Structure 1
């Protein structure tokens, strides 16, 4: 089946850390050559849209920053709908800081705040955890960019934001609100940018619990690749199967 547009995951689908996945690069290059619309949609909150598009271009993958939707951007969109200009205590990296600042939010180092917002933070400390927990116990809402327990890198699977944020959830007894895949916030942002009917779009990803569930929840077809988190051996045990599955995107080249 041919689709008119694609939503494409990054980590584990386009690359593993700094290592590009050649079949995925060739796939996107063909989309670009054919004029087929595509958007990259990622739960990675550490980089800005500009940084991610530059990383893709450096790997030979055609991408503009307008073609990238991150979980940080989704978090800013979600918070705007709740309380524009609110104060946020932030655990995260550059991409999340920039998205919230660009969204007009006040970033505070105080535990008296409206929201605790957490993305992947590879410089996490006990004190950061402590302030986040104190803020939540004072009534701040707990928002996470995503609940990924593991992220694929060239080293293997490393702890993701879901694993890190679970410390706060366990300590406070408050489960966070997630805005990244498979939640609808990030999908709605990407789908609106593609501007196509849902029946004409496919979601491509390596992680069943985030990418494929996101597509299923959004009511679009899905293409699972076995280049990242979910292994082919797990497929028979999945309750809701992806629409299609391939070893890598080289197998889908004939359909574009």
Structure 2
């Protein structure tokens, strides 16, 4: 495989791949610096709608990796961008936190809590999810509003374990309305990968996805023609590979080893 692939761009997951919480993965800063020096294009990708792209860029810079807002892609940006094209100025009710709401407004979408006016219900990770929000969404969906979601994750890793993620909100709406979510925009969706490739300006065969989750990072890569690189600094353990239908092309102990692999699979920029 290494004789054929000539990678020019990397899509790199954040939590569990570049950092864990507020701690940079050892060797990550040096590894990314080497890739940049070789002219590789890098786009950081996250499913979390809890922070804006600017927030992620600030965090990376704070940890020693200089990054701009345009270097980061997350599920809320992909969803807002899609909605702005599909239905400019649409009336939206979003179950989510302030960064998601800001992203939707920034895309020219109009937020409302009136079920009679809501055209789209957006389900996302929301630590303030309550019965009031559930009922607004329920009333809108039973009136025919479209049903979208930012990301499919069941749980979100935190420093002392895990907490429920967007899947909990999606499940509540599906259970009460009898409807299924129509579109999900985070990894492993083709909406996410199409946006990422468009930003990088590269075809899938010249890109690799680097991440720690088999069911999102590796699945997205394998289903869309990218090279799949798993790192073992996040949620996936070596023994998990035996039972997964999503097999990476390469497995690395951490992001620190990526420059060595790039020497084998990288192409001229």
* TM-score bucket (shorter structure): over 0.9
Structure-1 separation of matches of 2:169 and 2:233? 24
Shift of 1:193: 1.1
Shift of 1:240: 3.4
Whether contact under 8 Å (2:21, 2:159) holds in the other structure is: yes
Whether contact under 8 Å (1:89, 1:109) holds in the other structure is: yes
Distance 1:159 1:17, change over 3 A: farther
Shift of 1:138: 1.1
CA displacement, residues 15-50 of structure 1 (integer Å, 9 cap, x when unaligned): 223332223333223223333210011111111111
213-222 vs 149-158, which moves further: 149-158
What is the TM-score when the length of structure 2 is the normalising length?
Answer: 0.90
Which has the larger Rg?
Answer: 2
Task: List, as ranges, runs of 4+ consecutive aligned residues in structure 1 with deviation greater than 6 Å.
Answer: none
- Quote the RMSD (CA, aligned, Å): 1.6
| SS, match of residue 7 in structure 1 | strand
Structure-2 separation of matches of 1:125 and 1:66? 33
Whether contact under 8 Å (1:7, 1:202) holds in the other structure is: yes
- Residue correspondences, number: 256
Q: Which residue of 1 aligns with 2:235?
A: 229
Whether contact under 8 Å (1:29, 1:62) holds in the other structure is: no
What is the TM-score when the length of structure 1 is the normalising length?
Answer: 0.94
Q: Which residue of 2 aligns with 1:188?
A: 194
Shift of 1:121: 0.9
Gaps of 5+ in 2: 263-269
